[in-house]
Structure 1
């Protein structure tokens, strides 16, 4: 008759999760034990009796070792392997100048978007958009160039020809300088702008600085310095220059800093025009060559 211990031992082998300790069946003492899922390579060597090389290979191919090796290699590549790019690093101590410039840029974008009330017909001041576009044309370079060339052609006096020729030179200088700065800075126009401007060129897709603002400031100084105007007309010239710059922001063409720098640049462009002023002697020699 079999003993109860043998029966209970044989029945215990049918439980779920129990596996024999040896290669198969019960061990030498007739007992079964639970095998851990995370055996070390030394256990594999003792139980399976294989050579150390194959055991190490099987252990390295286990999912746990693969996951561990992947995480360790990732940490190595991120920490000590290859250097992390500087743009991905978080700057814990930014400079005061960087903070000031970032704050200025954020205020500039916010204020420009709030003031772009004529950017489209559906805006809050969309009904004023045709008037703003008329002001835009009054500050465009092509009408000013054509007007200066016509006045130079129709002028009879030497003084009038001198003034109109230097005005024409100033307008050409303004186009060159603004185009160079725009090509260097390459600041995009505001997102709410509609590219329906009059007679645009390749550099006009950039926003900094405002060419209308530079031209308005330079021409205003030029007219006030070389034309004899009554006081109301002088006030109108100043108001026109200011209104041209304001229309650029209201139409959404430029940011506030684009117009502000444009006024600053145009104001000092006139000093360069005065330094390069063409005298009557140079004018007469140029007219003689043309004849």
Structure 2
């Protein structure tokens, strides 16, 4: 008869006593089929034992993990698109991050406590010089005071260009609905509902379009032409300094204003065409 010490060591090592009772111990692997004499002792056949061994918890856990891993590989198409963003999406996100960072760094006149806060009153004067109301009032006054047909034609088309600019910029802002920079102070001169949005910059579109219009239809000396270009550039740049717009708002505004002048040239109104149109309406 084996001693208690041998019996306990056998239990810890996972041994099973032989059916012959000769005192020897045989090690049985849990992952293999038990010996025949153990199967006869337990009253079961080898086929059932193999089935029980195949249904062991370790095998069930392995099959469950394999099923979950297989199911994890079959992701929906929209999830695959989120996990694998396109190159265009990454480029746009990077451009937006750079735009926000650069706009915040350049907003040095956004408030009186900023690094260039003392220049803010001058920047606001530049802002008013590019506002739509002074330009509309000036075009109407010059049209009323003009004596020549050529002058009236130029002022009439300038007035049409200004109205067209207001309509197109308002539609674009209402469509995009991009908020102004977070560091902006809403103390602008004569704002409207769509002026709460940022894209594109109406000052930049107006400055670019009016600059091209003045250089094309008014005989100006070379120094004055340089001043017109500097004024248009400074109006757009002041929008970023004051924190009114992002850099991309001003850049797109310049491009849009340049294109708007081409549209004005296509829709150019002559006095003869205007008189005929008025006659048809009457």
Query: TM-score of the superposition, structure 2-length normalised?
Result: 0.70
> d(CA) in 2 for partners of 1:250 and 1:93?
38
Match status 1:110 vs 2:101: yes
Match status 1:124 vs 2:115: yes
Decide whether the 8 Å contact of 1:112 with 1:252 is kept in 2: yes
Kindly tell me the number of residue pairs found equivalent between the two proteins: 211
> d(CA) in 2 for partners of 1:165 and 1:286?
14
**Of 247, 269, 275, which aligns to 1:278?**
269
Residues 151-181 of structure 1: CA deviation (Å, up to 9, x unaligned): 0000000000000000000000000000000
Shift of residue 91, structure 1, vs aligned partner: 2.2
> d(CA) in 2 for partners of 1:255 and 1:156?
43
Equivalence map 1:1-291=2 (5 Å):
91-285=82-276
Shift of residue 282, structure 1, vs aligned partner: 2.0
> d(CA) in 2 for partners of 1:138 and 1:287?
33
Residues 116-164 of structure 1: CA deviation (Å, up to 9, x unaligned): 0000000000000000000000000000000000000000000000000
> d(CA) in 1 for partners of 2:270 and 2:113?
52
Shift of residue 288, structure 1, vs aligned partner: 7.3
Runs of 4+ in structure 1 off by over 4 angstroms are 285-291
Q: Which runs of 5+ in 1 are unaligned?
A: 1-78
Query: TM-score of the superposition, structure 1-length normalised?
Result: 0.68
Shift of residue 280, structure 1, vs aligned partner: 2.2
Decide whether the 8 Å contact of 1:132 with 1:251 is kept in 2: yes
Decide whether the 8 Å contact of 1:178 with 1:209 is kept in 2: yes
Shift of residue 283, structure 1, vs aligned partner: 3.1
> d(CA) in 2 for partners of 1:225 and 1:92?
52
> d(CA) in 1 for partners of 2:81 and 2:103?
29
Shift of residue 290, structure 1, vs aligned partner: 11
Structure 1 counterpart SS, 2:123: helix
Decide whether the 8 Å contact of 1:109 with 1:255 is kept in 2: yes
RMSD (Å), alpha carbons: 2.4
Decide whether the 8 Å contact of 1:187 with 1:208 is kept in 2: yes
Residues 200-238 of structure 1: CA deviation (Å, up to 9, x unaligned): 000000000000000000000000000000000000000
Structure 2 counterpart SS, 1:91: helix
Decide whether the 8 Å contact of 1:162 with 1:283 is kept in 2: no
Residues 231/191 of structure 1: CA separation in 2 closer, same or farther (3 Å cut): same
